[in-house]
Amino acid sequence: MIELGKKFPKDFIWGTATSAYQIEGAAAVDGRGPSIWDTFCQQHGRVFNGDTGDVACDHYHRYQEDVALMADMGVKAYRFSISWSRLLPNGKTDSLNQSGVDFYNNLIDECLKHGITPWVTLYHWDLPDAIEVETDGWLDRRTADLFADYANLCFELFGDRVKNWITLNEPWVVAVLGYGQGVFAPGRQSNSEPYQAAHNLLLAHALAVNVYRNKFLETQKGQIGITNNCDWREPKTHSREDKKAAQIALEFFLGWFADPIYLGDYPQCMRERVGNRLPKFTDEEKALLKHSSDFFGLNHYTTMYAAKQHGSSENLSVFGNGGLSEDQGVQLSVDPEWALTDMQWAVVPWGCSKLLKWIAERYGNPPIYITENGCAYDDTIKEGRVDDEERQNFMALYIEECSNAMSCGVDLRGYFAWSLMDNFEWAMGYSKRFGLHYVDFSTGQRVAKESAKWYSRLIASSNVNTKLGMTA
Ligand code: GAL
């Protein structure tokens, strides 16, 4: 493990990540307005066990304790998100909630006091419900403009101290799970709306970056980018057809969001296959999008095989698959030999380095930050101790693959473990534990799992790295 740490340069960013709705709680406290996740959780049968984010980890009241957990671990950076409706209860800048401003000011200051660099995500899926009602959410272009206004406010309020901004977290999830399969808020099912929502999300990102670069960059001197998620897709066989299927799957997954930013438009294969359900960018929008990310934020969890879909299969639904298989003509599967996490996601570390290399090659070797990687296991606490060996193994193997990719020239600059602590895992409620810290949801008590201690030792060992003359 010490050897693993030493493979990373001294200035590599080791962090942990969370998001507002998953940890804050205090949903109706101090003037916060509801988001689409609050209303989604109220709908019967949407979330496992009827769980909600009303209390979650109660981070709103316990943030000092949580920052202290990170300080104890020696993490250098903390990625968290701002709850748009805590700052602006109705989503618009005329509704500023001073308690929300105070909370994020305090959190940011607390991080800085402990030498932890804040990495702030502006949108981690929790659209103010007032906007959803008024504009139809991400199906409406006006939501992109409202997002840019909200982003502008965040830069104004916090940009003197926050130097790392992430506009959106995983727009793929919003589009496909929120508007395609309907399993996440706002719970819609369609085969065209995902493309419309994604389009407006991309524009929202570009508009926010434009505001930052034109109004704030010169004085605040930070960086701003987007975080996308992608699994690796491995061709199931060596056949040309399956190789092509894997490539199509990756372009539909990551290319959908990264091509417009790095290459100027949606992937050719999407334009051909989706046809007029895929909106078009104007020349002006293309220009706004191109080069609109200072870094490549990547959330990566798992890998699947991809093969050409032969004929129409029963498991292809005509509606509500979000373009996942019917538009791609790709059949996905996993190897029965692969170990699975509690999410039933396969543990395939080599998929991580393959994906990093794919990104480097396709997008001209951009600086990459893994803004999420981690795993859920059914952790239990025994005599105050959580022995999560599987999580340590998972992280060690994935981090090793990060180092392998770096030795092939990939410009990877940071790794954020998902998550700092167990939290509200969206439609799975509190049934899945991703944390480095165990949370007892009945008392709110946090306990460092063995993986947190392990991660802390890894960080310490990379700090003393002398390789490549990178010692202090
Ligand atoms: C990501 C998401 C996180 C977290 C994680 C584990 O897609 O950004 O909020 O839930 O997955 O499922």
Residue 185 sits in a domain whose CATH number is: 3.20.20.80
Q: Which of these is catalytic: 170, 193, 251, 401?
A: 170
What's residue 51's pLDDT?
Answer: 98
On whether residue 470 sits in a domain, the answer given is no
Q: Residues 368, 413: contact at Cβ < 8 Å?
A: yes
Q: Tell me how far the alpha carbon of residue 452 lies from the centroid of ligand 1, in angstroms.
A: 19
What's residue 465's pLDDT?
Answer: 58
Tokens representing 250 are 């990756």
On whether residue 262 sits in a domain, the answer given is yes
Alpha carbon distance 259, 346 (integer Å) = 27
Label residues 98-122 b or e (16+ Cβ within 10 Å = b).
eebbebbeebbebbeeeebbbbbbb
What's residue 1's pLDDT?
Answer: 65
On whether residue 117 sits in a domain, the answer given is yes
Q: Which residues contact 396 (CB under 8 A, 6 or more apart)?
A: 1, 4, 454
DSSP 291-343: T--SSEEEE---EEEEEEPPS--TT--SSSSTTSSTTTTEEEE--TTS-B-TT
Q: How far is CA 20 from the centre of its chain?
A: 12
On whether residue 248 sits in a domain, the answer given is yes
Q: Tell me how far the alpha carbon of residue 418 lies from the centroid of ligand 1, in angstroms.
A: 8
On whether residue 263 sits in a domain, the answer given is yes
Q: For the chain of 472 residues, list the mean pLDDT of each consecutive stretch of 10.
A: 88 98 98 98 98 98 98 98 99 98 99 98 99 97 98 99 99 97 97 97 99 98 99 98 98 98 98 97 98 98 95 53 82 97 98 99 98 99 98 98 98 98 99 99 98 98 62 36
- The DSSP 8-state label assigned to residue 93 in this structure reads G
Alpha carbon distance 79, 88 (integer Å) = 21
On whether residue 132 sits in a domain, the answer given is yes
Alpha carbon distance 256, 274 (integer Å) = 11
Q: Which of 121, 299, 423 to mutate to test the pocket of ligand 1 (most atoms within 8 A of CB)?
A: 299
Query: Which residues form the pocket of ligand 1, taking CB atoms under 6 Å from any ligand atom?
Result: 19, 22, 169-170, 173, 229, 299, 372, 418, 425-426, 434
Alpha carbon distance 125, 170 (integer Å) = 8
Closest residue CA from atom 4 of ligand 1: 425
What's residue 443's pLDDT?
Answer: 98
On whether residue 210 sits in a domain, the answer given is yes
What's residue 321's pLDDT?
Answer: 67
What's residue 70's pLDDT?
Answer: 98
Please confirm, yes or no, whether 372 is among the known catalytic residues: yes
What's residue 440's pLDDT?
Answer: 98
- Cα dihedral value 197, 203, 209, 211, nearest 10: -120
Q: Tell me how far the alpha carbon of residue 470 lies from the centroid of ligand 1, in angstroms.
A: 33
What's residue 3's pLDDT?
Answer: 87
| Domain count of the fold of the chain | 1
Please confirm, yes or no, whether 110 is among the known catalytic residues: no
Q: What residue numbers bound the domain in which 116 lies? A: 5-464
Q: Which of 23, 168, 226, 426 to mutate to test the pocket of ligand 1 (most atoms within 8 A of CB)?
A: 426
Q: Which of 18, 372, 428 to mutate to test the pocket of ligand 1 (most atoms within 8 A of CB)?
A: 372
Amino acid in position 123: Y
Closest residue CA from atom 10 of ligand 1: 425
What's residue 86's pLDDT?
Answer: 99
What's residue 126's pLDDT?
Answer: 98
Residue 227, SS3 per DSSP: strand
On whether residue 472 sits in a domain, the answer given is no
